[in-house]
Structure 1
Amino acid sequence: MRRALGSKVALYVVLSLGALAFLFPFYYMVIGSLQTDVDTTVAGAFPDPSNLTLDNYVAINERINLFQGLLNSGIFTGGVLLGTVVFGVLAGYALAVLQWRGRSATFALALLVQVVPFQLLMIPLYVLIARDYGLSDTYVGMIVPFFINSTAVVIFRQYFLQLPQDLFSAARIDGAGEFRLLWSVALPLVRPALLTAVLLTFIGPWNEFLWPFLITKEASMQPLAVSLANFISNIAASTANPFGAMMAGAVVLAIPAVTLFIVFQRYFTSNDLGSGVKG
């Protein structure tokens, strides 16, 4: 009993230290965004309360429009998530449930796409979207390259493969079509896959910098990550507290992502997919 208690205490101590090490950069970012006089040493993590202020948030908002940047990031991310879920569900269902010639080759191609770095495709995509289609400085131009996510296709396919085929056979006998099967039978059982795909996809476009930076020249169209990078490169030196202003912008950018993961972390569980079929 004493040995088991000691092991549990040691486990909690190790986990607590790991959690503190993981959370410290976020804590330091928040504290740095509130400091009037910057202290970049370790002692700066424990500042004098009289040195805390919200002026850095005002300063960064005066240089770049935080609300517009958040709105652009939200539209960009929302469009990517919409395409990821819709096409991921349809393609995953077709690859897992439907029987058709070329299914295995199509799945192999989806896996192959994942090993191709986006940087290799960036220049041809830029020429195609900006020059040929004239979609620079538009939300569509930002969203299109990320609209279909092969990783989401693989995730949905694996979840659909776990569903008992007897469910689909019974529904087909009752006269249900494939879209009815997908909507009424498959999707309710793979809700963890939907949430997993959304959460894993969200962080990518929300923090994406390089492609929006290439495709947008107007400041009013740039996502917040691009606006912050431009601020750091061109404007930060003109502020009274550049470090604090940069930290304030980083906090604003991080809040939606952190909030989303905190709210939905309990959904990272797996369902008993076989419970819908009686033995």
Structure 2
Amino acid sequence: MGEFETVAATREPVTVARIARDLEALGVRQGDVLLVHASLSGMGWVCGGPQAIVQALLQAVGPEGTIVMPAQSGDWSDPAEWSNPPVPRAWLETIYREMPAFDPLTTPTRGMGRIAELFRTFPGTVRSAHPQVSFSANGKLAGAIVADHPLTPQFGADSPLGKLYRLPEAKVLLLGAGYNACTAFHLAETRLDRMPAKRMGTAMTEAGARTWKWFDDFAYDSADFTLVGAELDARGMPARGAVGSADCRLFGLQAGVDAAEAWLRENRTGL
């Protein structure tokens, strides 16, 4: 939907104050720790765009709360697997040799949307050091959540997702985003007994020098996350409501990951 269509489809401007009110009505409380997946396109005409949404999220959880968002940088991956666009095979060795090392301060996100990209640069935000699947956080627990993000397993028990799982107050907020974007379900994948693995590569800093690093990790797959989400909806687990014009869900991260693990064990073949 273009900007003119968005204005025409919005009954009233979506402001910081309105977003904060809608979040409270959905169940967001002061002191909450929220893993947020946000899509700007479904929220209607937002007065202030991504800035307004980030400000409203921080306002909704207050100084005792914490906001976390994925800050993935898919460009820092094996170029042999790139498809959008692909690169000539003759370029691969040059990329392995010359790709700049991931830098939490300057490396942009890819495919995360305008809200997550702004959030990673917002005053007070810190970012984990994983070169492919970092997380950004802002608030009371931000530093502890993003510290010491292991290279592999990148979504495992010692990752920011694992740390969030150990916080009973942590919740997942799908702010106009679908279950296919729910990175918390990747933590459930790391618990599966016969989860397939793959080789990955990235440009990173190691021992103070830029290097191309190969490593093994799980072959994460979000293709069936919408089916996991349908199960959660059928159980009535998420609170559901509108924030602006967006259809949104809010649920406990621990409960969501546990339910995802159970569903994946029962329904994914070969596990």
Category of TM-score, reference length = shorter chain:
under 0.3
Bigger radius of gyration: 1
- TM-score, normalised via structure 2 length: 0.24
Which structure shows the bigger proportion of residues in helix conformation?
Answer: 1
